[in-house]
Structure 1
Amino acid sequence: MRLWLLESLFAFVLFLGGSLLIAHWVGGSGWSWVPGWFADHSWTLPAAVVVLLGPFLVTEPFIRYAVHRWELSGDVVYARSGYLTREWVFVPVSRIQTVDKAQGWFERMLGLATLEIRTASHAGSSTIKGLDHHVAAGLAEQLAHRAEALRDDAT
């Protein structure tokens, strides 16, 4: 959940910084193409960003954490994700072609990783985000070995 909180906070800071910059340019320069009411009240843009994105910043990481799940059971990897729309993916281990582990900037800072399970079909591929780095490495190795053992049974 720390990862999604950090990502939300970063996006919020970018939006707020951008809106403050625009408000400063519009309010200070008196551009002729900007409506007069907006030039006189340019502070409303950063205020709107705070009012509209503030609740999203607080709720989105908790909802994503509540929804984001994964499980390796038998010969299937089950992954559920999504914020506005839910996605359930069942990946048969025998269909796995590659298992990749990736780390973005925030994941590296927090000691987390993303596991990308790819099959020949894009629809059958899955991504598990926010795993502990050691769990992701162990799961990637385990899936690679299981997929190799089951490859002969696949049609």
Structure 2
Amino acid sequence: MPSWPGVNRSSEPGGSWPGANPRKPRASAPAEPAPPLPLDSEAIARLRQNPPAHRVSRNAKGLWALRAGLFWLVPFLLGCVWVALDPDHRSAELILLGLVAVAAATHILLVPRRRYGIHRWQVTDDAVYTQHGAFVHNRRIVPLADVTEVRTGHGPLEAIFGLGTITVTTATSRMRIAHLSRGPLADVSATIGERAGLAS
């Protein structure tokens, strides 16, 4: 049957009259992101010039204070037992308890603030970069090209303060981005996995 004048006849059903939908081009598959490149020594040196950009959650200070208090609870209780069982050495016992109390107060009140000022993290296009410590700055850089697994989790004390930790695994080591707020935890983990080219 001849087609309408001026209209190309199509081999598809319904393609031989005016107003018929033209053949649509097939949508191309979305391009996969390029895999991350290995870091060279110059890129690592550039990262080490400045601390990572992001701090951990402020709630981490409460977590560290609680852990410090639990740590000093044991020697304080042992000192109290000594006081109760040995009344002949009261001066030495009181001196010991005083030293424990001063050390505990320093640890609980000052060290968490110091750690909060040091603990940082950052995810760049090429690496995961962390800094931690109480008095010494310890920095670690893991190239995203080496990352094989990313996990999130939290311990019982972290759960009390609404915190979580991301564990980044390579073939030879593990890095932890600890004490992030539980809200952005999944987003940061997904970003690392995406930039590392891991399957979702």
* Equivalent residue number for residue 87 of structure 1: 138
Aligned counterparts of 2:107 and 2:170: Cα–Cα separation in 1: 34
Runs of 4+ residues deviating >4 angstroms: none
Q: Is this contact kept in 1: 2:152–2:166, CA < 8 A?
A: yes
Q: Is this contact kept in 2: 1:23–1:46, CA < 8 A?
A: no
Aligned counterparts of 1:115 and 1:15: Cα–Cα separation in 2: 33
Aligned counterparts of 1:51 and 1:65: Cα–Cα separation in 2: 21
Q: Kindly indicate which of the two structures has a greater share of residues assigned to strand.
A: 1
* Equivalent residue number for residue 68 of structure 2: 8
Give CA deviations for 1:31-81 in whole Å, capped at 9, x if unaligned: xxxxx6x46642332222012332222110000000000011212111000
| Unaligned segments of structure 2, at least 5 residues | 1-60
Q: Is this contact kept in 2: 1:12–1:57, CA < 8 A?
A: no
Q: Is this contact kept in 2: 1:67–1:80, CA < 8 A?
A: yes
TM-score by length of 2: 0.61
| Unaligned segments of structure 1, at least 5 residues | 29-35, 151-155
The 10-residue stretch of structure 1 (4-13 or 85-94) with the greater mean CA deviation from structure 2: 4-13
The residue correspondences of 1:34-113 to structure 2 (distance < 5 A) are 38=89, 41-113=92-164
* Equivalent residue number for residue 148 of structure 1: 197
Please give the secondary structure, in 1, of the residue aligned with 2:108. Answer: helix
Question: How many residue pairs were aligned?
Answer: 139
Q: Kindly indicate which of the two structures has a greater share of residues assigned to helix.
A: 1
Aligned counterparts of 2:178 and 2:92: Cα–Cα separation in 1: 41
> Kindly tell me: are residues 109 and 120 of structure 1, through their superposed partners in 2, closer, same or farther at Cα, counting changes over 3 Å?
same
Aligned counterparts of 1:100 and 1:19: Cα–Cα separation in 2: 42
* Equivalent residue number for residue 23 of structure 1: 83
Compare CA radii of gyration and give the structure with the larger one: 2
Aligned counterparts of 1:145 and 1:97: Cα–Cα separation in 2: 12
Please give the secondary structure, in 1, of the residue aligned with 2:135. Answer: coil
Taking only the aligned residue pairs, the percentage that are identical comes to 22
Amino acid at match of 2:136: T
Q: Is this contact kept in 2: 1:20–1:45, CA < 8 A?
A: no
Q: Is this contact kept in 2: 1:24–1:42, CA < 8 A?
A: no
TM-score by length of 1: 0.77
Deviation, structure 1 residue 84: 3.2
Identify which of structures 1 and 2 has the higher relative contact order when contacts are C-alpha pairs closer than 8 Å and 6+ apart: 2
Q: Is this contact kept in 1: 2:65–2:107, CA < 8 A?
A: no
Q: Is this contact kept in 1: 2:126–2:145, CA < 8 A?
A: yes
Q: Is this contact kept in 2: 1:97–1:119, CA < 8 A?
A: yes
